[in-house]
Homo-oligomer: A and B are copies of this chain.
């Protein structure tokens, strides 16, 4: 049985200021909670149905609360609550400049939509991109909607919030990595030779890459449109930010 204070506490974590105050975030569901339990993320509390708790061994350090579906509804952020909700410690990652040197890193310039952010984290995980650097103006990655959209990848990707211009300049100086950005008049990703290391800058959903960061791009790339193939009389103007990220990452990795 959940107390009123517990319900209030869990629900407060939907807001960034309370997540920061308590250094906790919410993860939910019969698929995602077990992924977090098996990851390096520290799970502090689990609220779950008896069925879930029978099926999953929890470490003794984790506080567990067996609750009914109806109680889960009172703390869930999902439309359809799903067996378990976990409170997890927000991880603090050191940015290892050396690790970035020989790898691909995503740099997100003000991604605002939680679904896009979560999807991009999941894409990074699929394509083995271990670090993401976000502008401080990006949506918080521990927002419950982002966490859910990552489908567990939040536990595996190191995400950093930094001033991007300073970060990129530092990386160019110290590691001499190329800086890729999808821009108009960029070279087609299908014909350009793409290396296994470098920064890939992804712009905001409506504004694209900021003027300031555009100056720091060393390699302008673009995803060609084949819109004319369908003779539909018009042209698709753009791709969603997460979709563009997926196509670019696929293209970087396909030859490796």
Contacts and interface: CB of A to CB of B under 8 A. Distances in A.
Interface range for A: 35 or more
Interface in A224-256: 225-234, 236-240, 242-243, 246-247, 250-251, 253-256
A226 B119 contact: no
Contact of A126 (B103, B236, B255, B256): B236
A123 B246 CA distance: 12
A253 B226 contact: yes
Given A237-B152, A247-B246, A227 B40 contact: no
Given A229-B128, A243-B246, A247-B250, A234 B122 contact: no
Contacts of A123: 239, 243
Nearest to A256: B226
A156 B226 contact: no
Contacts of A119: 240, 243
Interface in A122-180: 122-130, 151-153, 155-157
Contact of A234 (B124, B155, B226, B238): B155
A230 B122 contact: no
Contacts of A89: none
B122 A240 contact: yes
Contacts of A38: 234
Contacts of A254: 190, 251
A227 B155 contact: no
Contacts of A129: 229-230
A219 interface: no
Contacts of A246: 239, 243, 246-247
A190 B125 CA distance: 18
A90 interface: no
Interface of A: 35, 38-40, 103, 115, 119, 122-130, 151-153, 155-157, 190, 223, 225-234, 236-240, 242-243, 246-247, 250-251, 253-256
16 contacts: A40-B233, A123-B239, A123-B243, A126-B223, A126-B226, A126-B227, A126-B236, A128-B228, A129-B229, A130-B229, A151-B237, A151-B240, A155-B234, A156-B234, A242-B243, A251-B254
